Amino acid sequence: MMKSLTINGKTLEQVEIKVLIERARTIFNKMRKVLCARELKIDLRVRLARCYIFSILLYGIEAWILNASTTKKLKAFKLWVNRRILKISWTEHVTNNEDMRRVNKRMEI
C-alpha cells in the first residue's frame, strides 16, 4: 500500500484543492464589479463566473480523488459565488436550493 504525501498533516490533494479555491476566490474578488453588476443579466453573470472562476477552480480535476469532503468544499464555493453574484445577504436566510433555483442551475459542478 502506498502512503500519500502529507504536508502539515494534510494530503497533497487537500492542499491543492485549498490553493485552487483560494486562487478562484482571488480572481472572483478582482472581477467583483463585473460579476456583481446589476446592469448585467443574472444569466450572463453566471456564465462569466463559470468561464473565469470555475475554469480556474476545476483545473486538473481529472487527477483529484473526489471524496465527500472535497465535493462539499466545491459545492460550498459554488454557493459562495452564487450568493455574491445575486447579492444575497446571510441575514436573508435563503436556502441552498432557493439559491440554486435563482440561478436556474442544479447543485452539481
As averages over each run of 10 residues, the pLDDT of the chain (109 residues) reads 58 82 96 94 91 89 81 92 91 88 64
First-to-final CA distance of the chain = 31
At residue 109, the pLDDT reads: 52
**Is residue 98 left, alpha or beta, with left meaning phi > 0 and alpha meaning psi from -120 to 50?**
alpha
At residue 36, the pLDDT reads: 93
At residue 63, the pLDDT reads: 75
- C-alpha span between 12 and 107 (Å, rounded): 26
At residue 106, the pLDDT reads: 46
At residue 75, the pLDDT reads: 92
At residue 16, the pLDDT reads: 86
